[in-house]
């Protein structure tokens, strides 16, 4: 038996299957996916340059791929972020006993320029 009393006002526990992935893990995964798509784009540009005189149809397809891939990569990366399950709860700061603000009294000071020595 549990020694802690059951509380009806406590929020329900969040299921681990509904939890979102961590931000650093998600960012790393999106960076890798974007890097791979840019490598494919680079391969398209190289293929276009290599096949321009010999196979123009392949070169035009590679050119189209190198133009479309960056747009698709960005849209896919941003759409994935919104499709994740779960909600992010707002962070709330609570203080048990708020301390009164500390007031520091500043005394005015007068700073004078150094006196000039006159030789005379």
Q: Spell out a b/e string for 71-84, using b for 16 or more CB atoms within 10 Å of the CB, else e.
A: eebeeebeeeeeee
Dihedral sign (CA 38, 39, 45, 51): negative
Of 26, 10, 113, residue with least CA distance to 78 = 26
**What would the pLDDT profile of 62-79 be if each residue is shown by its tens digit?**
999 999 988 888 887 777
| Residue 63 pLDDT | 92
| Residue 95 pLDDT | 62
Q: What is the pTM of this model?
A: 0.50
Low-confidence ranges of the chain (pLDDT < 50): 1
| Residue 64 pLDDT | 93
3-class secondary structure, 49: helix
């Amino acid at each position: 038996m549990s020694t802690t009393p059951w509380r009806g006002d406590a929020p329900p526990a969040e299921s681990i299957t509904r939890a979102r992935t961590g931000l650093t893990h998600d960012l790393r995964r999106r960076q890798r996916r974007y890097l791979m798509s840019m490598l494919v784009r680079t391969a398209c540009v190289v293929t276009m340059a290599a096949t321009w005189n010999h196979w123009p149809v392949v070169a035009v397809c590679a050119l189209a791929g190198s133009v479309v891939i960056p747009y698709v990569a960005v849209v896919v990366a941003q759409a994935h972020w919104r499709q994740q399950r779960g909600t992010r709860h707002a962070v709330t700061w609570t203080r048990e006993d708020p301390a009164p603000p500390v007031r520091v009294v500043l005394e005015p000071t007068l700073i004078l320029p150094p006196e000039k020595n006159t030789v005379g």
